[in-house]
Every structure is written in structure tokens, then in C-alpha cells.
């Protein structure tokens, strides 16, 4: 077992800017379900080299009440063929912080799918006084089923095609807790690694069924994700997993940094995540 406390770092940044995008909506048929795609094309004349590295596709599976949506960022240059599942925090898949993070991961050669876990009804800050009521309406069985359907899509798209040997799963906050459930259900068949950023509502009982190494990244000043809880879960998962703790950091610092100091730690957390994915999925 391994616990790491991060004190300082000196690493180079992979900076990206937002792009203006066109969203035409062609439709293509999949083998067992209708998938509608919206190719995301960067407008000419945008002075942003990073935008040339990534394309985006808006996906949906099923129709009516069975319709679920996701967004796929694909590396255009230096694509390593690896598929990743990114599970968002309660602000949902269309949140700019989540999409910016996914875009940046794709810049490093990955194909990263961000499903809409809340079916168009994410939490907003305006609902701060009714959070428990909102989260209570998010059926855990429905969320698990939606994630399973998108996992199957990733398997068909990357593993069945012989591109990826294993998939990876990354999650923030609510999504970080879902990472454990996904890996426990998978039993090591599809996912080769998981990363949980300050996971909430984590189920310790799921740990014994997890067969892939998990990287836990969190701050020691986070009331929603206590260090000892992550360490105990990591012990149950066993050899190969790791807990990385950033002193003084609270919830959300890695993908929602709120100060120059958090920017530095967010960059370090990103590099740790990037190296973990490379070592466990690419090499």
C-alpha cells in the first residue's frame, strides 16, 4: 500500500483555450442501437493550436425515455487508441470545467467519453438549499445502467476493434464515487485502471470486488472526502493502488482551481493522473 502527500511541484503546463464550435447533427446507425452524432468542427481562423489536436462528437443511444447522451473527445494527432470514461461531478457533463479537463486529456492522445449521468438535469448552485432532495431523485440503478451502456459502447468502439487492451475510468466528486462501483462491477474484464478525484459517497464494500489499481487524489482539508476513508478503501483494493494527498487543499481543487496556489496543485495532480494512465493503459 502507498500513501503519498504532495508538498510542492514544478511541472510544465499543457494549456488549452476554449474554441468556438459548429454543431451539425448527422445521424449514423450502430449495430444494435441508433446513435446520433454531432461532429464538432473548429471554425477557421481561431488562433488556438490546441484546438487542432482534438475533435468532438456528441453521441446519444436509444430513443424517448431510454435516450442517453454523452460527449466524446478524440485526439486527432498522436492518438494512442486508448478509451477513457470520465464521470462528472454533480454539475454534469456539459459543465465547462469538466469539458475543459476532458479536452486536455484528449490533447495527450486519449479518446475520452463524458456521459450525461443526470439526463439533462444536473445540480446547479441555485439549488444549494435542496441538494439532498435533488440527489435523492437521481436513481442509482438508472445511473449504473447508463454507465454500463456507455461502457459497452466504449468496448465495442475500442476494445472489440482491437485498439485498446483495457479502458480507463476517471471521476470527480460524485463521479469519483461512481468509479469504485464501475470497477467493482467490471471485475477487471474491461477497465485496466481507475482514478478517483475526491470521491464522494464511496462504497467501501465495493473495494473487495475491484481488480484494477485505483489512484485516489484528494486534499486533506476536504470534509466531503476524508483522507482516512480513501486510505481504508485503498487497503482493501490491495497492491498497485495509491492515495495522493495534497495538504491544505479542499474539494474540487484539481478540476476547479480557485486560486494561483490551487492552480499549481491542480497542474501537479494532472501530471500524476497523466503518468498513471500512461503507465497502466498505454505502455
**Which residue stretches of the chain have pLDDT < 70?**
1-52
Instruction: Cell numbers for 207, please give them.
Output: 473495494
pLDDT at 53: 84
CB atoms within 10 A of CB 32: 10
Instruction: Tell me the domains of the chain and their CATH numbers.
Output: 3-21+80-282 (3.40.50.1820)
Full DSSP string of 182-194: HHHHHTTSSEEEE
Rounded distance between C-alpha atoms, residue 208 and residue 144, angstroms: 18
Burial of 2 (0-12, 13-18, 19+ CB in 10 A): exposed
pLDDT at 77: 83
Cell 465495442 appears where? 156
pLDDT at 39: 34
Cell 476536504 appears where? 222
pLDDT at 42: 31
Report the first-to-last Cα separation within the chain, whole angstroms: 22
pLDDT at 3: 52
Rounded distance between C-alpha atoms, residue 110 and residue 220, angstroms: 30
pLDDT at 275: 97
pLDDT at 126: 84
Burial of 26 (0-12, 13-18, 19+ CB in 10 A): exposed
Instruction: Cell numbers for 201, please give them.
Output: 459517497
Rounded distance between C-alpha atoms, residue 219 and residue 222, angstroms: 6
pLDDT at 46: 30
Amino acid at each position: 500500500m502507498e500513501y503519498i502527500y504532495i508538498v510542492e511541484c514544478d511541472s510544465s503546463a499543457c494549456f488549452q483555450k476554449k474554441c468556438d464550435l459548429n454543431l451539425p447533427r448527422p445521424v449514423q446507425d450502430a449495430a444494435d442501437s441508433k446513435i446520433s452524432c454531432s461532429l464538432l468542427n473548429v471554425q477557421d481562423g481561431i488562433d488556438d493550436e490546441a484546438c487542432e489536436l482534438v475533435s468532438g462528437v456528441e453521441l446519444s443511444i436509444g430513443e424517448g425515455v431510454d435516450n442517453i447522451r454523452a460527449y466524446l473527445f478524440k485526439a486527432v494527432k498522436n492518438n494512442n487508441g486508448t478509451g477513457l470514461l470520465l464521470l462528472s461531478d454533480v454539475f454534469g457533463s456539459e459543465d465547462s470545467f469538466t469539458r475543459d479537463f476532458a479536452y486536455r486529456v484528449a490533447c495527450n492522445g486519449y479518446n475520452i467519453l463524458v456521459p450525461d449521468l443526470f439526463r439533462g438535469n444536473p445540480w446547479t448552485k441555485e439549488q444549494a438549499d435542496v441538494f439532498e432532495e435533488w440527489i435523492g431523485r437521481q436513481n442509482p440503478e438508472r445511473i449504473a445502467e447508463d454507465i454500463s451502456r456507455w461502457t459497452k459502447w466504449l468496448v465495442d468502439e475500442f476494445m472489440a476493434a482491437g485498439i485498446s487492451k483495457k479502458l480507463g475510468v476517471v471521476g470527480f466528486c460524485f463521479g469519483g464515487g461512481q468509479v469504485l462501483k464501475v470497477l467493482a462491477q467490471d471485475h477487471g474484464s474491461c477497465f485496466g485502471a481507475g482514478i478517483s478525484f475526491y470521491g464522494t459517497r464511496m462504497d467501501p464494500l465495493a473495494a473487495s470486488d475491484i481488480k484494477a489499481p485505483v489512484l485516489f487524489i484528494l486534499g486533506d482539508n476536504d470534509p466531503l472526502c476524508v483522507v482516512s476513508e480513501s486510505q481504508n478503501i485503498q487497503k482493501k483494493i490491495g497492491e498497485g493502488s495509491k492515495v495522493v494527498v495534497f495538504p491544505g487543499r479542499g474539494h474540487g481543487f484539481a478540476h476547479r482551481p480557485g486560486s494561483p496556489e490551487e492552480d499549481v496543485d491542480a497542474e501537479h495532480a494532472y501530471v500524476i493522473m497523466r503518468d498513471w494512465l500512461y503507465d497502466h493503459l498505454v505502455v
